[in-house]
């Protein structure tokens, strides 16, 4: 669990009667190796999404909860806004979400909407408040900065030979985050997601 928050009344986008929302995502070390051993890891499209639907969907059934996913839209559930309500995730200087333990490598695979109020992790200090923000200057083509994200410039850079470091090891901005650097995400996992992003 990457965080959660209490829901005191019915809200748009949440099932009626939701009293707690828990946000779920990969935990390393271990997730990437586990995922590759699962039946969804085949030649069909979207293995990570299919795995998420099966595993989180089953968990929701076992708990009497409702599973919600950041994919499958439109419309899309507001995972960015939900994450900001947890006290464990914040907007970084480059506007990507940053997690207290995973840094800029955080990703959400789903959420559980529970009808019960459950204990939640306490808020944590925002790591960016004491960080020199190397993320602001880590992008070689300046496609991702505090001013925003230039998607065409990012893709153009990834098409060049010098973009191969990002393609094989993951986004340099995400990797520049000190919290990300201490998190045990494998370069192979980042490379897979970069290939999905840059098709």
pLDDT digits (tens, 9 = 90+) for 64-90: 999 999 999 999 999 999 999 999 999
Please enumerate in sequence order all residues whose Cβ is within 8 A of that of 111, keeping only pairs 6 or more positions apart, or say none.
21, 22, 23, 24, 67, 68, 69, 77, 79, 82
- Overall average pLDDT of the 107-129 stretch: 98
Write down the pLDDT at residue 177: 98
Instruction: Report DSSP letters for 40-92, one per residue.
Output: T-SSSS-HHHHHHHHHHHHHHHHHT-EEE-SSS-SS---HHHHHHTSSSEEE-
- Overall average pLDDT of the 135-153 stretch: 97
The pLDDT confidence band at residue 110, using thresholds 50, 70 and 90, is very high
d(CA 1, CA 24): 5
- Overall average pLDDT of the 97-108 stretch: 98
Write down the pLDDT at residue 185: 92
Write down the pLDDT at residue 120: 97
Q: How far is CA 126 from CA 44, 50, 120, 184, in A?
A: 39, 32, 17, 20
Contacts within 8 Å (CB) and 24+ apart, 181-187: 181/103, 182/103, 183/28, 183/101, 183/102, 183/103, 183/105, 184/28, 184/29, 185/28, 185/32, 185/102, 185/105, 186/28, 186/29, 186/32
Q: Say if residues 106 and 96 touch (Cβ distance below 8 Å).
A: no
Mean pLDDT of the chain: 97
The pLDDT confidence band at residue 129, using thresholds 50, 70 and 90, is very high
- Overall average pLDDT of the 113-121 stretch: 97
- Read off the pLDDT of residues 160-199 as tens digits, 9 standing for 90 and up: 999 999 999 999 999 999 999 999 999 999 999 999 999 9
The pLDDT confidence band at residue 41, using thresholds 50, 70 and 90, is very high
Q: Say if residues 128 and 146 touch (Cβ distance below 8 Å).
A: no
Q: Say if residues 50 and 41 touch (Cβ distance below 8 Å).
A: no
d(CA 156, CA 142): 12
Write down the pLDDT at residue 14: 96
* CB count in 10 Å sphere of residue 76: 12
Write down the pLDDT at residue 98: 99
pTM: 0.94
- Overall average pLDDT of the 109-132 stretch: 98
Write down the pLDDT at residue 11: 92
């Amino acid at each position: 669990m990457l965080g959660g928050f209490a829901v005191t009344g019915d809200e748009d986008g949440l099932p009626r009667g939701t009293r707690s929302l828990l946000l779920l995502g990969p935990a390393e070390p271990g997730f990437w190796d586990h995922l590759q051993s699962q039946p969804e890891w085949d030649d069909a499209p979207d293995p990570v999404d299919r795995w998420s639907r099966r595993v989180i969907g089953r968990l929701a059934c076992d708990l009497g909860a409702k599973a919600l996913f950041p994919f499958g839209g439109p419309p899309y559930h507001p995972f960015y806004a939900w994450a900001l309500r947890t006290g464990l995730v914040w907007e970084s200087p480059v506007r990507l979400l940053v997690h207290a333990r995973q840094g800029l490598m955080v990703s959400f695979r789903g959420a559980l909407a529970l009808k019960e109020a459950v204990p939640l992790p306490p808020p944590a200090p925002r790591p960016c408040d004491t960080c020199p923000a190397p993320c602001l200057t880590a992008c070689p083509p300046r496609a991702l900065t505090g001013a925003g994200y230039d998607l065409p410039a990012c893709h153009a850079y990834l098409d060049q030979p010098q973009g191969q470091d990002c393609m094989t090891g993951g986004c340099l901005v995400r990797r520049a985050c000190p919290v990300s650097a201490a998190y045990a995400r494998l370069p192979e996992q980042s490379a897979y997601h970069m290939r999905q992003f840059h098709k």
